[in-house]
Chains A and B, each alone.
Chain A
Amino acid sequence: MANPLYRKHIISIPDFSREELELVVDTAGRLKHSPRNDLLKDKLIGSCFFEPSTRTRLSFETAVQRLGGNVIGFADGGNTSAKKGETLADSIKIIGSYTDAVVMRHPKEGAARLASQFSAVPVINGGDGSNQHPTQTLLDLFTIKETQGTLENLTVAFVGDLKYGRTVHSLTQALSQFNCRFYFVSPEALAMPDYICEELDEKGVQYTLVSSLDDVIPQVDILYMTRVQRERFDEAEFKKIQGKYVLRADMLANARTNLRVLHPLPRVDEIATDVDSTPHAYYFEQAKNGVYARQALLALVLNETV
């Protein structure tokens, strides 16, 4: 029987069942420890980045080539017929007719969902505006499983910009399927949006809103840091919160030994560089795991069995 993701579009985390999330995570683990160079043999993947990206695009293209596939595409929508006014629907219809799957990033929300309605081949969302970035969530889940041995019953603190950070929204949605509990640590102006909190309430997920990072560190398994962007505040307001959401090595003195610090990167100054050499730092390995999570997804979408 074909795996449940075979020939499926990968658009949004809420589309995934718990079993499908586990399938991607477990497959990523297998591919990390036993590399395969044949799973995308004779496959051509469209890498369509209508908006620039560094890690996502390079890790997707690395994943394709490591699995023995080939890539065509573009890294900037400015050089495509989208600039001439072509609809995304038309662009994707054509690109889908050249390739076996399309990986895409687009500045508009909903772009991947729309593309999936016009593409004859699977579409994989590499980020649509401020909406979803499902492969980031899958690599986050894989990293959490790798560091904790499980996805169940974990305590996870999300820190920083929880209002605009699409990665934290998707990751809470995914982890809420695994009976995890959450701490949301942010300035009030960047608090988790109501619709996410309402979703968690409906599912009976436990979460606590806190303003101090120090208080939660001894209680959590995963500390998921994000960047508080200066441009979201006026100068006086920024001064007040500056430093409150910055992690330094000395703050980890009372942390559990299994605590791992994750960050979707790029970091600016929210994780001091002295954290890098502690056993808790895991964000660079997390970024590397992006390749394995994307390999797993591509392999599952393009092979009946992996």
Chain B
Amino acid sequence: MQYTRTVEALKEGTVIDHLPAGQGMKILRLFKLAETGERVTVGLNLSSRHMGAKDIIKVENIALTEEQANELALFAPRATVNVIENFEVVKKHQLELPETIEGIFDCPNSNCISHGEPVKSFFYVKPTATDTKMKCKYCEKVFSKDIVAEVK
């Protein structure tokens, strides 16, 4: 099958590639990429030789940090995150599940004190055999990562 480039090349910014199909919009929302004011190109259900179908996000002029890339690992551990400068890949992030996550998600427990106080949410991340669990530093409740992501 002939492989054609379906998304325009990026001069400066970050390419988040090899997202499982269906995760693209979720990542866009969770990481507030649409709110950056920069041009964002999103490809959904693109054909992929390895994955069958994949999503891709390109954000201009923003370089994702190591920490942000690791937070992505919660949802798409096999995604590739490439930082681009002048059309060249200058950094390929190796995604590793972070030990803690600060400020991205709200605590799903509505009675948790982290809501309405001057603190960022904070979770300890713990991979299990079948899931990734997140424990809120404040209310100490443990949630499946999907429940935490749904709330945001």
Residues of A within 8 A of B (CB): 12, 14, 87-89, 106-111, 113-114, 117, 128-132, 195
Max chain B CB contacts within 10 Å: which of A114, A128, A195?
A: A114
Task: Kindly state the separation between the CA atoms of A195 and B131 in the bound complex, as whole angstroms.
Answer: 13
Known contacts A89-B118, A89-B119, A117-B119; A108 and B113 CB within 8 A of each other: yes
Interface size on B, residues (CB 8 A): 16
Interface centre among B118, B138, B141 (most CB of A within 10 A): B138
Question: Given the complex of chains A and B, what is the CA–CA distance between A113 and B107 in angstroms?
Answer: 15
Q: List A contacts of B119 (CB < 8 A).
A: 89, 114, 117
A110: B residues at CB distance < 8 A? 112-114, 136-140
CB distance from A167 to the nearest CB of B (A): 15
Pick from B109, B111, B138, B142: contact of A114, CB below 8 A: B138
B140 pairs with A131, CB closer than 8 A: yes
Complex Cα gap A250–B141 (Å): 40
> Given the complex of chains A and B, what is the CA–CA distance between A87 and B118 in angstroms?
8
Give the residue of B111, B117, B140, B141 whose beta carbon is less than 8 angstroms from that of A87.
B117
Distance in Å: Cβ of A80 to nearest Cβ of chain B: 15
Contact among B113, B136, B137, B141 with A88 in the assembled complex (CB-CB below 8 Å)? B113
Residues of B within 8 Å of A88, CB to CB, are 113, 117
CB within 8 Å of A: which B98-152 residues: 109, 111-114, 116-119, 136-142
Question: Does A113 contact B141, Cβ atoms closer than 8 Å?
Answer: no
List chain B residues, Cβ under 8 A from A114. 113-114, 117, 119, 138
What is the interface of chain B, defined by CB distance below 8 A to chain A? 109, 111-114, 116-119, 136-142
CB < 8 Å neighbour of B113 from A12, A109, A130? A109
What are 17 A-to-B residue pairs whose CB atoms are below 8 Å? Answer: A87-B117, A87-B118, A89-B117, A89-B119, A106-B113, A108-B139, A109-B113, A110-B112, A110-B136, A110-B139, A113-B138, A114-B114, A114-B119, A129-B111, A129-B139, A131-B139, A131-B140
Expressed in whole angstroms, the minimum distance between the Cβ of A174 and any Cβ of chain B is 15
* Nearest CB in chain A: distance from B128 CB, A: 8
Whether the Cβ atoms of A113 and B111 lie closer than 8 Å is no
> How far in angstroms is the closest Cβ of chain B from A133?
12
How far is A12 from B124 in the complex, measured between Cα atoms in Å?
16
**Whole-angstrom CA separation of A114 from B138 in the bound complex:** 7
User: How distant is the Cα of A12 from the Cα of B139 in the complex, in angstroms?
Assistant: 10
Of A88, A110, A113, A130, chain B has the most CB atoms within 10 Å of the CB of: A110
Q: A89-B117, A89-B119, A107-B111 are in contact. List 6 more A-B contacts (CB 8 A).
A: A87-B118, A109-B138, A109-B141, A110-B112, A110-B136, A114-B114
